[in-house]
């Protein structure tokens, strides 16, 4: 109550006018009642209402000056009065005062404000509130709805029951029902491209169903991005932008998150390289793996090349027991649908100890001549060579070549070379080195004469002798056939002699050459075990 005291007509008493509200806010289209009361010791009473801005008076049972203005109703008593205005319009906003016969117009009354009925349901802590910027302060009666059904027992502007984020809510006041409000739901992210190449632009859009409308927050790999727009635009996407993205939609009733979408930035292979494991020196017989790697999306396919010759197509080359022939320059090519890249060749150097050394002799070995001995061995790293004489511990020389400038008799003997690297050592077989002598030359000459005698003169002599004997035998057979025709006795001595001659065999000499060049050459002549006698000649062959 707001009392206004002013002196009476005679100035001796205080007359009071009281208003229920000094200001009232009401919705457009609604009905409002403004009340006042009067207290006086005199016989004065209330008689009407008037509007200050509109300069209109309202009387009981007459409405305003326009009798057709039935929206204004005045009820008048001796000390109380009320003004009811229905179907409020914006022009009804004014200050209204009640009037007595003696009352001055200068005393303030009740101010009426007319607004659009914009109510909204907001969340305050754990409660929902039916809120408006202008609610009348008395006779408030609300109706609450959940999922379209009226909630019994809730008549205040506060909804005090538990709030479910999956439900929708609405409130109503004086026939003005709000649309249903609810927390965001069906939150999703769409992407403008399905295949994203480095350097292209991609737009992510977050959408949801929410009332009131939601605000959005963006996250990359669960880290908050400083962006609160429903669209997230990456203008020139880089491979560092790859990751999982999602958005969160929020309004005053709650919030909800979308599922993740993945941005997978694709690009051709780069920085192809070959690595070897183990990375230390590669020893023959060890297990070695070559690996090709590159930065590529999608993952690259690999092709291997050894010394410009293609190998298998895998990301790794494995040797369970590597050998020296596996040494060489290895490189790989990485390739996907966007391009390719080749690595720098890697030299695979397989190390191994020396193989069996071999010794070569250059120069004529004679007294006073110059002789060069050469030792060679396959080894990695390259071998160092030392020369030794049999039964001597100290090396005679070092290096792959050893030259004896003035060969003498004491230089003769058995020699060998030793090949050594940090992986091992190995000796060659013994090599006899000795100078030629005169006796050796005589023996060589004798050997040559004997060989000529054995393989030239003796076979020629035996061939001539055989031909002569064959001629003699043919003549004898002819004579025997003549005798047989005259005397057909097959048991005669002549027939036996001819049969024996048919079995005649020639035995050659068996020649044996002694290994000792100084020994003489002998022949072993074997005699026919059954000497043959001829009728004409009783000599034995």
306 and 218 share a domain? no
86 and 41 share a domain? yes
Structural domain ending residue among the three candidates 403, 433, 463: 433
The whole-number pLDDT of residue 520 equals 34
pTM of the model: 0.50
What burial letters (b/e) apply to 368-396, b meaning 16+ CB within 10 Å? eeebebbbbbebbeebbbbbbbeeeeeee
**Calpha distance 170→182 (Å, rounded):** 9
Hey, what are 236's tokens?
């020139």
345 and 409 share a domain? no
pLDDT tens sequence for the chain (541 residues): 455 555 544 444 566 788 888 888 888 888 889 998 877 766 666 778 888 888 888 887 654 444 346 889 988 877 788 999 988 888 999 999 888 766 655 678 889 888 876 677 777 777 788 877 776 555 567 888 888 888 888 887 778 888 888 888 888 877 777 788 888 999 999 999 888 999 999 999 999 999 889 999 999 999 998 888 999 999 999 989 999 999 999 988 889 999 999 999 999 998 899 999 988 889 999 999 999 999 999 999 999 999 989 987 888 899 999 999 999 999 999 999 999 999 999 999 999 999 999 999 887 777 888 889 999 999 999 999 999 999 888 998 999 999 988 888 888 889 999 999 999 999 999 888 887 655 445 455 556 667 666 766 777 777 777 777 767 777 666 665 544 444 444 344 444 444 434 443 434 333 334 444 333 333 333 344 444 344 344 333 2
Q: DSSP string covering 276-343, please?
A: EES-S-EETTS-EEEEEEEEEESPPEEEEEETTEE---SSEEEESS--GGG-EEEEEEEEETTEEEEP
330 and 248 share a domain? no
In a domain, 110, yes or no: yes
What burial letters (b/e) apply to 515-534, b meaning 16+ CB within 10 Å? eeeeeeeeeeeeeeeeeeee
In a domain, 505, yes or no: no
For residue 278, cis peptide bond before it (omega within 30 degrees of 0): yes
**Calpha distance 315→272 (Å, rounded):** 11
362 and 378 share a domain? yes
287 and 345 share a domain? yes
In a domain, 251, yes or no: yes
Residue 17: which domain range? 2-115
Structural domain ending residue among the three candidates 93, 115, 137: 115
**Calpha distance 408→133 (Å, rounded):** 130
H helix or E strand, kind and range, residue 485: helix 458-486
9 and 108 share a domain? yes
18 and 104 share a domain? yes
Q: Strands of 369-498 (E only): list them.
A: 371-376, 384-389, 397-398, 401-404, 413-421, 424-427, 431-433
Structural domain ending residue among the three candidates 263, 287, 316: 263
In a domain, 525, yes or no: no
In a domain, 234, yes or no: yes
In a domain, 444, yes or no: no
For the chain, the residue count is 541
Asked if 111 and 32 count as a contact pair (C-beta separation under 8 A), the reply is: no
305 and 279 share a domain? yes
193 and 235 share a domain? yes
Domains in the chain: how many in total?
5
Instruction: Give the position of tokens 């050592």.
Output: 425
In a domain, 276, yes or no: yes
Domain harbouring 387, CATH code: 2.60.40.10
218 and 288 share a domain? no
96 and 7 share a domain? yes
**Calpha distance 313→114 (Å, rounded):** 83
In a domain, 42, yes or no: yes
């Amino acid at each position: 109550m707001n009392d206004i005291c002013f002196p009476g007509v005679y100035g001796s008493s205080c007359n009071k006018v009281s208003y229920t509200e000094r200001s009232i806010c009401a919705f457009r289209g609604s009905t409002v009642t403004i009340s006042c009361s009067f207290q006086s010791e005199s016989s004065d009473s209330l008689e009407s209402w008037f509007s200050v801005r509109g300069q209109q008076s309202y009387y009981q049972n007459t409405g305003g000056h326009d009798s057709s203005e039935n929206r204004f109703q005045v009820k008048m008593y001796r000390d109380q009065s009320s003004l009811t205005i229905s179907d409020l319009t914006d022009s009804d906003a004014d200050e209204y005062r009640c009037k007595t016969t003696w009352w001055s117009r200068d005393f303030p009354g009740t101010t009426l404000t007319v607004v659009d009925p914009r109510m909204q349901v907001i969340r305050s802590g754990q409660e929902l509130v039916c809120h408006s910027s202008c609610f009348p302060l008395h006779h408030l009666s609300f109706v609450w709805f959940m999922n379209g059904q009226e909630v019994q027992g809730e008549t205040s502007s506060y909804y005090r029951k538990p709030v479910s984020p999956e439900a929708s809510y609405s409130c109503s006041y004086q026939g003005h029902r709000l649309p249903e409000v609810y927390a965001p739901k069906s939150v999703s992210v769409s992407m403008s491209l399905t295949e994203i190449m480095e350097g292209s632009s991609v737009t992510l859009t977050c959408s949801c169903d929410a009332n009131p409308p939601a605000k959005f927050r963006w996250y990359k790999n669960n880290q908050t991005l400083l962006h609160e727009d429903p669209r997230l635009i990456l203008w020139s996407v880089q491979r560092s932008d790859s990751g999982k993205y999602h958005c969160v939609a929020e309004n005053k009733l709650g919030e909800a998150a979308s599922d993740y979408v993945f941005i997978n930035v694709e690009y051709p292979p780069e920085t192809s390289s070959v690595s070897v494991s183990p990375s230390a020196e590669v020893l023959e017989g060890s297990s070695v793996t070559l690996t090709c790697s590159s930065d590529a999306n999608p993952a690259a396919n690999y092709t291997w090349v050894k010394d410009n010759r293609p190998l298998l197509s895998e990301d790794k080359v494995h040797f369970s027991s590597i050998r020296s022939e596996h040494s060489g320059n290895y490189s790989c090519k990485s390739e996907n649908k966007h391009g390719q890249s080749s690595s720098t060749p890697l030299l695979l150097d397989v190390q191994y100890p020396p193989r069996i050394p071999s010794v070569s002799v250059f120069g004529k070995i004679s007294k006073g001549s110059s002789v060069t001995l050469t030792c060679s061995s396959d080894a990695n790293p390259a071998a160092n060579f030392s020369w030794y004489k049999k039964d001597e511990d100290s090396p005679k020389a070092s290096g792959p070549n050893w030259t004896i400038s003035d060969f003498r008799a004491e230089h003769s003997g058995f020699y060998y070379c030793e090949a050594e690297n940090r992986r091992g050592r190995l000796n060659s077989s013994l090599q006899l080195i000795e100078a030629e002598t005169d006796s050796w030359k005589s023996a060589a000459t004798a050997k040559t004469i004997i060989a000529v005698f054995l393989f030239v003169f003796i076979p020629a002599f035996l061939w001539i002798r055989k031909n002569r004997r064959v001629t003699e035998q043919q003549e004898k057979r002819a004579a025997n056939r003549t005798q047989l025709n005259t005397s057909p006795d097959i048991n005669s001595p002549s027939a036996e002699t001819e049969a024996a001659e048919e079995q005649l065999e020639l035995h050659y000499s068996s020649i044996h050459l002694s290994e000792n060049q100084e020994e003489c050459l002998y022949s072993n002549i074997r005699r026919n075990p059954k000497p043959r006698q001829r009728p004409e000649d009783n000599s034995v062959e």
